[in-house]
Amino acid sequence: MTSAVAISLGVLSVVALLLGALILGRYGRERRLWNLYWGTGIVLVFVTLVEESALDAGMWSQLLIRSYLVITAVLVGVLSLGSAELALSRRWKYLWFGFIGVVSAACVAVGALTPVPSSIMFDGAVWSLPPTIVVVASSLVTVPGAAMLIGTSLYGVVRQRRFYLLYVTLGTIVFALGGSLYIASFPAAMYFADFAGTVLLFFGFVRVTDRSAAAVRTATA
């Protein structure tokens, strides 16, 4: 790993941790659960960046790569819980929480039990897809989770003119784009996509107030 990449990952990790801590601090003050889920999701982004740094430094182990692949997927589900807490009625919220809980548990189980070949790595970066069963299990979390993030934010933009929610839409799309670039052998692009996506999500999340949350929930009930 070049010193430039190492420094970049270090800076991105610190920024992600700071943003996550700010949202969790807001939860501590206001006790609004959507801040807990969003803050936790962004802290998990920090964890994946630290794991990327370790992998890029050549610290290969099955525990590290399996943890990285699982957390990368599960964090999207955790972020979606914040949007569900904010936007859905109680019945639909409980159904969503149950669904994300089940598919996340399945993702963790598959990730824990499936060996990942070292050939997935090249020059300290993930350059090929993990085993198919891991990809499928991850997709069961990431695809619906991203759809929830994008769908609820676009609803707020179109129906309620809450344009700050576009940050959430764009942040989710940037995350997805970063993953595509990673798979397409541009691993460095994912680091900065993670950073840009995290910052965009943060700008959207912090604009949510009690008043706007009540309006969104009433409209989608």
Domains annotated for the chain, with CATH where assigned, are 3-216 (1.20.1070)
User: Torsion-angle region of residue 162: left (phi > 0), alpha (psi -120 to 50) or beta?
Assistant: beta
> 192-213 pLDDT, tens per residue?
777 788 888 888 888 776 555 5
> 140-161 pLDDT, tens per residue?
999 999 999 999 888 888 877 7
pTM: 0.85
Give the DSSP per-residue string, 15-35. Answer: HHHHHHHHHHHHHHHH--HHH
- Beta-carbon neighbour count of residue 100 at 10 Å? 22
What gap in Å lies between CA 134 and CA 200, rounded to an integer?
28
pLDDT at 197: 83
pLDDT at 57: 81
pLDDT at 47: 94
pLDDT at 184: 47
Q: Kind of pairing, strands 121-122 and 125-126?
A: antiparallel
- Distances 124 to 17, 68, 197 between C-alpha atoms, Å: 23, 14, 23
Mean pLDDT by 10 residues, the chain (221 residues): 68 88 90 92 92 84 93 93 90 95 97 90 71 92 92 85 84 74 55 79 77 50 51
